[in-house]
Amino acid sequence: MTVTEVTPLRCLQIEDSESDAALIFRMLKKARFKVQGERVESAAELKTALKRQPWDIIIGDFHLPGFDAYKALNILQETGLDIPFIGVSGKVGNEIAAEIMKRGAADYLTKNSLERLVPVIRRELREAEVRRERKLTEAALNTEKERLWATLNSIGEAVISTDAQGTVTTLNPAAEEFTRWSNEEAVRRPLAKIFRLHDPDTRKSSPCPAAWVLKTGEKLESSNPLLMTDRHGGARKVSYSALPIKNDFNEIMGAILVFRDVSNDEQLNEVLHSSNRLKTIGAVASEIAHDFSNLISSIFGNIELAQEYCRRKNLKKIMERLESTLKIFTEARNLTCQLLSLAHSGKPDFQAASVSTILDQSARLTLRGSNIAYELHLPKDLWQCNIDRNRMTLVFDNLLLNARQAMTKGGKVNISVENLPADSSAKPSQISGDAVCVAICDSGPGFEQKNHPDSPQNAFIKKEPSEQGLGLSCVYSIMKQHGGHVRVESQVGKGTTFHLYIPRYKADSETD
């Protein structure tokens, strides 16, 4: 507001001289203040005036009969009101002026220097406005903090906030329960002492995520679950997300860490894994039962013919029937091995082996009796891999069964295998060394691919309820056990291809 504009002013004067008060009111009006004024002479009148309405400024004479500026300031301070108080007197020493300023007066003037009154009032009005805006801002911030804190207290995720030095400022109740630290105990302690992470396999300490966030100013999320140790030594697997807190000038003021217990997620995945495995076994077992029935019929037929040739003493025909029977027994043994591989459980039994034989057997078993053709392309110098044969068989069975169920009207499956050196551009970054790539490509209807080809979410591709090939999560789990990687590519109307990247057997690669 400029000096030429009329400024509303609610002015309360503590003055026993009516003429002196009128003089001040005239000065203020001449300075283009629209004055709403009142004069009081006693403590009782001052209290009544302060209760009756708000005031912008108080001008008080230092000495009144039985009432002085000190008493007036005490009354004003007791109300808690933020009103600038300007002392005015005929004559007063520097010591008294300093004392009244010390007790809370905004300024002190003599009646011989009233030319300073208007500038002092304008200054105090500006400063009072600044104080009011600051209080409103602080009140709004406090309200927002209370709302935020109420939200943090109600959510299930654990939340810890820190300052720019990584010192804890707040823990919500979930974080208190996870860490076994109360908010009061944790505040002002380093986050690394409250939130301790370890590798679940090696038990080695992992860096505190907030330190990286505070250093870089970037968001950080855990790629794999880590083990969090609480105050009393208890441990649980958690995943976390950490991000910086920045002010309007993009300066880092602190960090927010959000984490949650993923132990139940892993248990759920194990249940899903077992369920899918059982469904796959059921689907394949029905085919095996049909094949066993055919094999047994063939065995009985050969035995009956052999008996007839025995009566005729036709040794050549007898040998032919016996050789045929032995081949059928071999087929039956292979079917039994395949069924046992599906039912296999326990820790992986890793051995150096080639995937070629496993792929051939799996394709013959899974696609047997269907209207689906397949081709298997194997290089002559295929590298060995360190694999659990039974579990890797389950991987191939699941993917081939998935392809079979996708092609209800028949089709074709192309299976190709190739060696990928460590520096191959076709190898994903998740595999560091040499690898063997198995590609299983079907000519089915395909699907709209919403996830990245490397995303584990592809393990949960939605299928029709009547279809039983629900073992993709099993595939991802087993490939993870092998240190491998899965990539899926699919287009509607153009089929689906699963790429399996299996690390090469190390001892084999060291002899090259």
Q: Are strands 7-14 and 33-40 parallel, antiparallel or unpaired?
A: parallel
Domain positions in the chain are 7-134, 156-261, 267-510
**b or e along 29-61 (b: 16 or more beta carbons within 10 Å of the residue's beta carbon)?**
eebebebebebbbebeebeebbeeeebbbbbbb
Q: Which of 463, 488, 487, 460 is nearest to 474 (CA)?
A: 460
**Burial label, 482 (beta-carbon count in 10 A; 0-12, 13-18, 19+):** buried
Pick the CATH number of 267-510 from 1.10.10.10, 1.20.1630.10, 3.30.565.10, 3.40.30.10: 3.30.565.10
- pLDDT number for residue 269: 57
* Cα–Cα distance, 246 to 252 (Å, whole number): 5
HSE of 380 in the Cβ direction (CA atoms, 13 Å)?
Answer: 0
Rg (CA), the chain: 43
The amino acid present at 451, given as its one-letter code, is N
Domains 156-261 and 267-510 in one fold:
no
DSSP calls for 74-105: HHHHHHT----EEEEES---HHHHHHHHHTT-
DSSP calls for 127-146: HHHHHHHHHHHHHHHHHHHH
The pLDDT averaged over each successive group of 10 residues in the chain (512 residues) is 71 89 90 91 91 92 81 90 86 73 83 85 90 82 68 74 92 90 93 90 85 91 87 89 85 89 65 59 62 69 76 81 68 56 62 92 81 91 92 87 85 95 89 93 84 52 41 78 91 91 80 57
- pLDDT number for residue 460: 45
The amino acid present at 137, given as its one-letter code, is T
The amino acid present at 381, given as its one-letter code, is D
Class of domain 7-134: alpha beta
Q: Which of 63, 177, 76 is nearest to 111 (CA)?
A: 63
Handedness of CA 291, 412, 490, 391 (dihedral sign): positive
Four-CA torsion 464, 467, 473, 474, nearest 10 degrees: 180
3-state secondary structure at position 46: helix
- pLDDT number for residue 465: 35
pTM score of the predicted model: 0.38
- pLDDT number for residue 364: 86
* Cα–Cα distance, 444 to 442 (Å, whole number): 6
CATH number of 156-261: 3.30.450.20
- pLDDT number for residue 203: 80
Angle at 374 between CA 372 and CA 379, to 5 degrees: 170
